Amino acid sequence: MQNWPCDPCSDSGLVTLHGLTSATNFRYLYLFTRNFCVPGIHSMENLSINSERLWQSIMEMAEIGATEKGGCARLALTDLDKQARDLLVQWCREAKCKIEVDEMGNIFSTRPGKVKNQPVMTGSHLDTQPTGGKFDGVYGVLSGLEVIRTLNDHQIETSHPIQLVVWTNEEGSRFQPAMVGSGVVAGAFELNDIYDCRDADGLRFVDELSRIDYKGNKPATIPNARAYIEVHIEQGPILEDANDLIGVVTHQQGIRWYTVTVTGKESHAGTTPMPIRQDALMAAAEIALKVKSIAEVNTPSGCGTVGMFDCYPGSPNTIPGKVVFSVDLRHPDNATLEEMEQQLINFTKTLSNQCDTRVDGYWKYPARAFDENCVEAVHKVVQNLGFPYQKMITGAGHDASYMAQVIPTSMIFIPCKDGISHNEVEHATMDHCAAGCQVLLHTLLEISQS
């Protein structure tokens, strides 16, 4: 293990994790400091991120697209997304990184290492849900930046470069499907198919990408990287309920997205007798309830969501003739997810006496295990730091999920308040953010030096 100087900000030579000072955080203060610099001992194991700087960066980024309830609305490829990207690029330039942008608008910021190639990658996304929070994605991006800033503070030269990536349109809110920046790079989507996607106003993905000036030249192909490690809020209640500080993420569950179209017959609300109606909304409502029961039969892991719902022609006194809605099904076991899909399709067929139904699946992400060595690298770091942790799967999709298909990948989770995410009240504490970033720092160092 190479030796490095201690944090110059500390008189005693004791490296502390900034912000961990309140009494309630005493336990973690102990956990953080006991593995950190002690006077007279100088080693890379003692290296600490600056938690206040990380927190300030998260708060500054959250001002771009800030909502009244304290969240963020920064949809992919909007002017606000551009502002967030510009700020991140400015910060990365100040941190002396080399910036490249690929054909998908993914931004790569590289801090050089002793050798030129095979960077160790980290990253996440800056786009949010329409009523999103300050942390989903942003926390991972700014943790990567904080790692780079920390390495700069201590003038540490890593063996391999450290590369921070901002992936385009992870959320899939404005343009469906989700995770397309990493998905194109991994070869899961064709670049031109994604370029042709349109938002609800008919605007094309590629036109919006050019408009915000983030259609780069770098080919969107598989990176020649050593590994990809992403840190993210958990977005569920498991870590908080267990009082654990870190999730060592071992698997990504499977995800399937569908558009369901139900076609009935428009007719007068006051004159059409109930038995002869072909009411598309009533049939769609039955399907939506079936989505719920299909997921419930497969609890605790199964999930089923109807998140978008359009009813035509949209008049109080006309029986709806057409309904189009989205279905999101998830399960960690691919065979079970396949069964859930079959149950959905079979159920829609039982409604054929009322309406025509179509189920168009347009996105499948198969459940997958993360790379064993990367999971173990995170695991070892967490154990060395003495943080309470558990191994877990991710229920949310992440860019790491596509990276896992092409390079060794794993993830680090931290708790979020009440397990709430995709909501303006989404919150993670400064200490939890610091802990995850600290794990990221040491995992990236470990993989870079090994």
Residues binding ligand GLV (CB under 6 A): 171, 178, 396-397
List, in sequence order, every residue forming a beta bridge with 412; answer none if it has no partner. 231, 248
- Compute how many other C-beta atoms are within 10 angstroms of the C-beta atom of residue 52: 13
Q: Do the beta carbons of residue 147 and residue 445 sit within 8 Å?
A: no
138 binds, among ligand GLV, Mn ion, none (CB under 5 to 8 A by kind): none
7 binds Mn ion, rule: CB under 5 A = no
- Span from 16-24, 101-109, 134-142, 280-288 in contact with Mn ion (CB under 5 A): 134-142
Q: At its nearest, how many Å lie between ligand GLV and the CB of residue 232?
A: 10
Q: At its nearest, how many Å lie between ligand GLV and the CB of residue 397?
A: 4
Q: What is the DSSP secondary structure assignment for residue 78, as one 8-state letter?
A: S
136 binds Mn ion, rule: CB under 5 A = yes
137 binds Mn ion, rule: CB under 5 A = yes
Q: Which residue is nearest to Mn ion (CB)?
A: 137
Sequence-ordered alpha helix ranges (H) in 186-260: 191-195, 205-211, 238-242
302 binds, among ligand GLV, Mn ion, none (CB under 5 to 8 A by kind): none
Size of the site for Mn ion (CB under 5 A): 2
- Span from 132-140, 147-155, 249-257, 385-393 in contact with Mn ion (CB under 5 A): 132-140
Of 25 and 173, the one with the shorter C-beta distance to ligand GLV is: 173
Pairing of strands 254-263, 356-365: antiparallel
- CA 228/CA 181 separation, integer angstroms: 15
137 binds, among ligand GLV, Mn ion, none (CB under 5 to 8 A by kind): Mn ion
List, in sequence order, every residue forming a beta bridge with 357; answer none if it has no partner. 262
Q: At its nearest, how many Å lie between ligand GLV and the CB of residue 209?
A: 20
303 binds, among Mn ion, ligand GLV, none (CB under 5 to 8 A by kind): none
7 binds, among Mn ion, ligand GLV, none (CB under 5 to 8 A by kind): none
Q: Do the beta carbons of residue 58 and residue 138 sit within 8 Å?
A: yes
Of 379 and 422, the one with the shorter C-beta distance to ligand GLV is: 422
Of 119 and 397, the one with the shorter C-beta distance to ligand GLV is: 397
List, in sequence order, every residue forming a beta bridge with 389; answer none if it has no partner. 246
Q: Is the peptide bond between 177 and the residue preceding it cis, with omega within 30 degrees of 0? A: yes
- CA 38/CA 14 separation, integer angstroms: 5
- Report the chain's C-alpha Rg in angstroms: 24
List, in sequence order, every residue forming a beta bridge with 309; answer none if it has no partner. 325
- Which positions touch Mn ion (CB under 5 A)? 136-137
